[in-house]
Amino acid sequence: MKQGRLFVISGPSGAGKGTICKELISAGIADLSVSMTTRKPRGIEQEGVHYYFVSHEEFQQAIDEGNMLEWAEIYANRYGTPKKPVLEKLAQGRDVILEIEMQGAMQVKKSYPKSVLIFVLPPSISVLRKRLIDRGTETTEQIDLRTRTTLEEIKKIKDYSYFIINDDLASAVDDALTIINAEHLRVEDEAEDIIQRYEREGI
């Protein structure tokens, strides 16, 4: 059984990475990993769907027991990827998408070098700011803080393999599909299988 691929999608908050991931998941292209977080649920967020909402103690315990693929602290809350479900899905041949911020992405790149890192960009910083305001989930101070750090985050794009500028959702999803398809056409792990397939013809 061929291993699935691990795709890591990061980018500034409000760049639309969540929406792109949702489209890929609902099209059955890949499975999304459900993260664990110490932050409180917002709006319609559901336990086990959007996040596993846990206490600081439970989060620390998961780290101590080696159960996290990666984790990071953002604005006084912790976020992380439980290791087991991701490894199980990859072993079943399913592609998995992690929608995580950059500190976590770097940990995944190190511990799972075959992972594919994709950076989602907003068309501009002013568009991003407007999206955050329209989303209405954060206070003005939080939005100010997030937009101030955006440029610093964008400078980290050098650590990524692919980028998507999310101007129009449909073409951003198309770009993501192109990247995923290209990764499945890599020779690397396939070389032996390909050679054997043609050798079997015995001509």
Note the residues at the interface with ligand 5GP (CB under 6 A).
13, 35, 39, 70-72, 74, 79-81, 99-101, 103-104
Nearer to ligand 5GP, 74 or 154 (CB): 74
Nearer to ligand 5GP, 155 or 200 (CB): 155
Shortest separation between residue 187's beta carbon and ligand 5GP, angstroms: 31
Minimal CA–CA distance to 9: which of 27, 36, 26, 33?
33
What's the CA gap between 147 and 203, in Å, rounded?
A: 62
Shortest separation between residue 176's beta carbon and ligand 5GP, angstroms: 15
Shortest separation between residue 9's beta carbon and ligand 5GP, angstroms: 8
Residue nearest ligand 5GP by beta-carbon distance? 104
DSSP codes of every residue in the chain:
-PPPPEEEEE-STTSSHHHHHHHHHHTTS-EEPPEEESSPP-TT--BTTTEEE--HHHHHHHHHTT-EEEEEEETTEEEEEEHHHHHHHHHTT--EEEE--HHHHHHHHHH-TT-EEEEEE-S-HHHHHHHHHHH--S-HHHHHHHHHHHHHHHGGGGG-SEEEE-SSHHHHHHHHHHHHHHHHT-SGGGHHHHHHHHHTT--
Nearer to ligand 5GP, 58 or 189 (CB): 58
Shortest separation between residue 87's beta carbon and ligand 5GP, angstroms: 15
Nearer to ligand 5GP, 29 or 72 (CB): 72
Nearer to ligand 5GP, 70 or 183 (CB): 70
Shortest separation between residue 178's beta carbon and ligand 5GP, angstroms: 22
